[in-house]
Amino acid sequence: MLVAVVTLACLGAIFGIVLGFAAKRFAVEVDPRVEELIRVMPGANCGACGMPGCAAFAEAITMGTVKPSACSPGGASLYEKIAAIMGTEVSAYEERQVAQLLCQGDNVHTKMLYRYEGLSDCHVALANFKGPKACKFGCVMQGSCSRVCQFGAIQMGVNGLPVVDYYRCTACNKCVVECPLQLYKLVGVSRLVHVRCVNTEKGKDAKANCATACIKCKICEKNCPEDAVHVVATGDGTVALIDYEKCTNCGICAVKCPTKSIDKIMPLSEEVILEVGETPVPGCTRCGVCPPL
Amino acid sequence: MKKATFRGGIHLDGHKELTSGLETVVAHIPDRVYIPLSQHIGAPCVPLVVVGDQVKKGQKIGASKGFVSAPIHASVSGTVVAIELMEHPGGSFVPCIIIENDRKEEWAESVIPHRDPASLTPDELRAIILEAGIVGKGGATFPSHVKYAPVEGKIVDTVILNGVECEPYLTTDHRLMLERSDKIVAGLGYIMRAVGCERGIIAVEENKMDAVAVMEKAAAEAKNITIVVLKEKYPQGSEKQLIYACTGREVPVGGLPLAVGVIVNNVGTASALARAVELGIPFIGRNVTVSGPGIRNPANYRVRIGTLFSELIKQSGGYVGEVEKIIAGGPMMGKTVFTDNLPVVKGTSGIIIFTKEENRHSKEFACVRCAKCIDVCPAYLEPTSLVRLAKRKAWEDAERMDAMSCIECSSCVYVCPAQIPLIQHIRRAKQAILAAKARPQG
């Protein structure tokens, strides 16, 4: 009995000393900010930021390898908290981006070559004479983007074209990658004026196929007070392009554009500009693991 | 006797009686021909002529670029009036050389009959085949000279001529076997000499017994050529299934028929080849079946390459009823085109017109797991599983399940009780797998 007590006591003492020594000797320096950051994180460990979890994300922030805006579930309130802990300015972080569709050729404005009856998939539709539309640059309207969007931010509209819900869009880039014609572009949410045409054909040919095509008339270029819009060489031809650094959202080009291929949208509310909206699924953290809606 | 065949496949209503009894007639030679610069698998041609040039019949007007390519030739004599982008029956837009016919029908100087075709060496034969622009006439339009080029370590012991024509409606090969059996046998002889093999097989489906009789008579002299009668089943005319039925050999996944020592050619290719070798005439014409319920007088035509579909349809008495679909090729594997303003190309075996009545569309239901598609798949695939993966965009998994082995015969779609467009999903998967391969690694 006594032997057992003494043996255990001795073992306990030896291990205690060894562990106590090891804790001092091999201690790892932890950035105190990491602990603080972990506390303010959403804690869903969803992986939307590309890190294994919130802790890894917090550590990556302190090392400066990732931007706080990578955490889409956190939103603007989180960015503010991170800024307070890290001692940086919130304004240094990027503006929230949303996807913009660069085509307005709906089933009223654009000439169709034939009626497509096949599988509802843009890639499949394009294999047949480059899609049913006469314009070979425009949206094929089969909704691959809306099926790939996990946040329900892209719905097919009644006019055949997909409609982006800027409130729900998280700029996850999935639609940009999916679209076989590269018709999506991620643009800051405060940007209101967009050239919604990528047709690089000559004005006459483009107009023959679509009533809202860019016809390269350069009226936008002449009227822009900020020198922000230009008809630039792209691919085999030219098309109007807005320099968002210079654009002031005045919308003069959109008013002057004869085919209305330049479009000025209504300004979004302050709330939408700062935070990504709720997804249709309660509790969703937009981690991207679930299949598309 | 039990006839040879392959595993899987479906029995289709052939509808061949519409045209199989009709002799091939020469189509009107049009005032203008539209010759696309790409009429084969592989690199497109570079034009050798400019607008305003005078060309003669049989003159080379497009040179092949790269090894897997075939030159193109003028099918009429006349003036080049334009080179512009046009719809191509393959479902794309391709630059076409447009020639205004001067009706002189002058042959080019390069078209000279070969004095002694029996003395040509395999290399000379291959050179003639390349220059004549011979490509597979069955539809895939693979340049023939590439097929015959010797490959290190591979011995070809059998050449199979494909006279199966398993697609419904099409009867061009059937008629060709009846009318040009001597040319087919001669062509097979040249192919065998070009590749240096001893055994030749002409495969015919059992629904064309008249053609079998004619071919047997024509090949009676040639001891090493046999006529094999195959069971009537779709897709019996598919290369790999045909090889299995004729020789019992299975082409490995991702492999060419060459891997099992076989070369397969269409009977039409053989006859075009015989013309090229004996008479020096390049590939400037082909036989086309114009058929289907939407055409007034279905017929078989001998057509110059570059003739518009609309000309043939006009010669057939025009459309009947409400035309809903124009198909270039057979109804199972052909391409639906949206206009008849398209030229006949080297791979156009038929023009099938469907009216609204045949073009039924029903709603797609959920898969009922009946496994009918798996039963009929001649490539031993599981179409339903591939579609499930394709819907999830699991391209890598689809590749692991051999999506690339799909021959796109559409048998699975034909039997699917849930009306799932399986083939389109699989095609999408194949497209994505190829795109992923083309992308640089990293």
Nearest-angstrom CA–CA distance, A89 and A111: 50
Has residue B244 been placed in a domain?
A: yes
From the CB of residue B196, how many other CB atoms can be counted at a distance below 10 Å? 12
pLDDT at A278: 65
Nearest-angstrom CA–CA distance, A65 and A143: 35
Beta bridge partners of B325: B354
**Same domain as B258, residue B386:** no
Chain A CA closest to residue B94: A129
Q: Which of residues 112-131 of A touch B (CB under 8 A)?
A: 113-114, 117-119, 121, 123-124, 127-130
Nearest-angstrom CA–CA distance, A67 and A15: 43
- Section B76-92 average pLDDT: 92
Nearest-angstrom CA–CA distance, B342 and B312: 11
Has residue B16 been placed in a domain?
A: yes
Cβ of A127 within 8 Å of Cβ of B91? The answer is yes
Nearest-angstrom CA–CA distance, B378 and B376: 6
Chain B nearest-CA distance from A119, in A, is 6
Q: B425 contacts in A (CB within 8 Å)? A: 119
Residues 6+ apart with CB under 8 A from B384: B367, B369, B371, B373, B374, B420, B422
The reply to whether A32-86 and A191-266 are identical in fold is: no
Cβ of A128 within 8 Å of Cβ of B87? The answer is no
Nearest-angstrom CA–CA distance, A151 and A164: 11
pLDDT at A174: 85
Q: A126 contacts in B (CB within 8 Å)? A: none
Cβ of B428 within 8 Å of Cβ of A130? The answer is no
Mean pLDDT score across all residues of chain B: 91
Instruction: Name the residue ranges covered by the structural domains of chain A.
Output: 32-86, 95-190+268-286, 191-266
CB A161 within 8 A of CB A143: no
CB B411 within 8 A of CB B9: yes
Residues 6+ apart with CB under 8 A from A95: A188, A189, A190, A273
Nearest-angstrom CA–CA distance, A89 and A97: 19
Q: Could you read off the pLDDT of B290-334 as tens digits, one per residue?
A: 999 999 999 999 999 999 999 999 999 999 988 989 999 999 999
Q: Please report, for residues B157, B176, B215, B354, B363, the alpha-carbon distance to residue B299 in angstroms, rounded to integers and kept in the order given.
A: 37, 13, 22, 15, 34
3-class secondary structure per residue, B288-326: EEEECCCECCCEEEEEECCCEHHHHHHHCCCECCCEEEE
Predicted confidence band at B115 (pLDDT cuts at 50, 70, 90)?
A: confident
Q: Could you read off the pLDDT of B260-292 as tens digits, one per residue?
A: 999 999 999 999 999 999 999 999 999 999 999
Show the tokens assigned to A144: 């691959």
ipTM, two decimals, is 0.86
- CB neighbour class for B164 (10 Å; exposed up to 12, middle 13-18, buried from 19): buried
Has residue B420 been placed in a domain?
A: yes
pTM of the model: 0.83
Sign of the dihedral defined by the CA atoms of residues B108, B109, B110, B115, in that order: positive
Instruction: Say yes or no to pLDDT of B75 above 80.
Output: yes
Scored b (16 or more CB within 10 A) or e, A157-168 reads eeebbbebbbbb
**Same domain as B381, residue B264:** no
pLDDT at A94: 64
- Residue of B431, B433, B434 to mutate, testing the A interface (most A Cβ within 10 Å of its Cβ): B431
Domain coverage including residue B176: 3-20+112-279
- Section B74-94 average pLDDT: 93
Has residue B51 been placed in a domain?
A: no
Show the tokens assigned to B56: 């003669």
CATH class of the structural domain A32-86 = mainly alpha
- Residue of A113, A114, A116, A119 to mutate, testing the B interface (most B Cβ within 10 Å of its Cβ): A119
Cβ of B338 within 8 Å of Cβ of A113? The answer is yes
Chain A nearest-CA distance from B88, in A, is 8
Has residue B126 been placed in a domain?
A: yes
Nearest to A99 by CA among A165, A21, A5, A147: A165
CB A54 within 8 A of CB A39: no
pLDDT at B403: 93
pLDDT at B305: 94
Q: B87 contacts in A (CB within 8 Å)? A: 129
**Same domain as B275, residue B376:** no
Q: Which of residues 355-384 of B touch A (CB under 8 A)?
A: 361
Q: A127 contacts in B (CB within 8 Å)? A: 91, 427, 431
Domain stop point among B225, B256, B279: B279
**Same domain as B275, residue B401:** no
Q: Could you read off the pLDDT of B325-379 as tens digits, one per residue?
A: 999 999 999 999 999 999 999 999 999 999 988 777 778 889 999 999 999 999 9
Q: Could you read off the pLDDT of B147-182 as tens digits, one per residue?
A: 898 888 888 999 999 999 999 999 999 999 999 999
CB A61 within 8 A of CB A86: yes
Strands B78-88 and B335-337: unpaired
Chain A CA closest to residue B393: A148
pLDDT at A292: 62
- CB neighbour class for A283 (10 Å; exposed up to 12, middle 13-18, buried from 19): exposed
Nearest-angstrom CA–CA distance, A255 and A249: 12
Cβ of A129 within 8 Å of Cβ of B392? The answer is no
Chain B nearest-CA distance from A232, in A, is 25
Q: B336 contacts in A (CB within 8 Å)? A: 128
CB B243 within 8 A of CB B161: no
Residues 6+ apart with CB under 8 A from A70: A48, A49, A50, A57
Instruction: Say yes or no to pLDDT of B1 above 60.
Output: no
Instruction: Say yes or no to pLDDT of B84 above 80.
Output: yes
- Is the Cβ of B314 closer than 8 Å to some Cβ of chain A? no
What is the spatial order of strands in the sheet that B54-55 belongs to?
B32-36, B92-101, B78-88, B54-55
Question: H/E element holding A270?
Answer: helix A270-274
Share of chain B above pLDDT 70, in %: 99
Predicted confidence band at B208 (pLDDT cuts at 50, 70, 90)?
A: very high
**Same domain as B386, residue B269:** no
Strand, coil or helix: what is B266? strand
Strand, coil or helix: what is A140? coil
pLDDT at B326: 93
Beta bridge partners of B262: B158
Q: Which residue has the higher pLDDT, A284 or B64?
A: B64
Residues 6+ apart with CB under 8 A from A46: A73, A285, A286, A287, A288, A289
pLDDT at A92: 52
Question: H/E element holding B88?
Answer: strand B78-88
Chain A nearest-CA distance from B3, in A, is 37
Sign of the dihedral defined by the CA atoms of residues B210, B211, B212, B217, in that order: positive
Domain stop point among B251, B279, B307: B279
Has residue B73 been placed in a domain?
A: no
- What residue has token string 């609204």? B356
**Same domain as B251, residue B129:** yes
CB B412 within 8 A of CB B379: no
How many A×B Cβ pairs under 8 Å?
A: 36
From the CB of residue B382, how many other CB atoms can be counted at a distance below 10 Å? 16
Has residue B162 been placed in a domain?
A: yes
Please provide the CATH number assigned to the domain covering A191-266: 3.30.70.20
Identify the top-confidence range among A29-33, B1-5, B137-141, B193-197: B193-197
CB B354 within 8 A of CB B327: yes
Scored b (16 or more CB within 10 A) or e, B5-31 reads bbebbbebebbbebbbebebeebebbe
Has residue B78 been placed in a domain?
A: no
Domain stop point among B279, B298, B326: B279
- The tally of domains found in chain B comes to 2
pLDDT in tens, chain A (293 residues): 899 999 999 999 999 999 999 998 888 888 888 888 888 887 777 777 878 888 888 888 888 888 887 787 777 788 888 888 888 776 555 677 889 999 999 988 999 999 888 888 999 999 889 999 999 999 999 999 998 887 788 999 999 999 998 888 888 788 998 999 999 999 988 889 999 999 999 999 999 999 999 999 999 999 999 999 999 998 888 999 999 989 999 999 999 999 999 999 888 777 777 666 666 666 676 666 666 65
Does domain A95-190+268-286 fall under CATH 3.30.70.20? My reply is: yes
Q: How many CA atoms lie within 13 A of A86 on its CB side?
A: 24
Domain at B242, CATH number: 3.40.50.11540
From the CB of residue B422, how many other CB atoms can be counted at a distance below 10 Å? 26
Q: Could you read off the pLDDT of B381-426 as tens digits, one per residue?
A: 999 999 999 998 899 999 999 999 999 999 999 999 999 999 999 9
pLDDT at A287: 65
Write the single-letter amino acid at B296. Answer: R
pLDDT at B73: 95
pLDDT at A269: 77
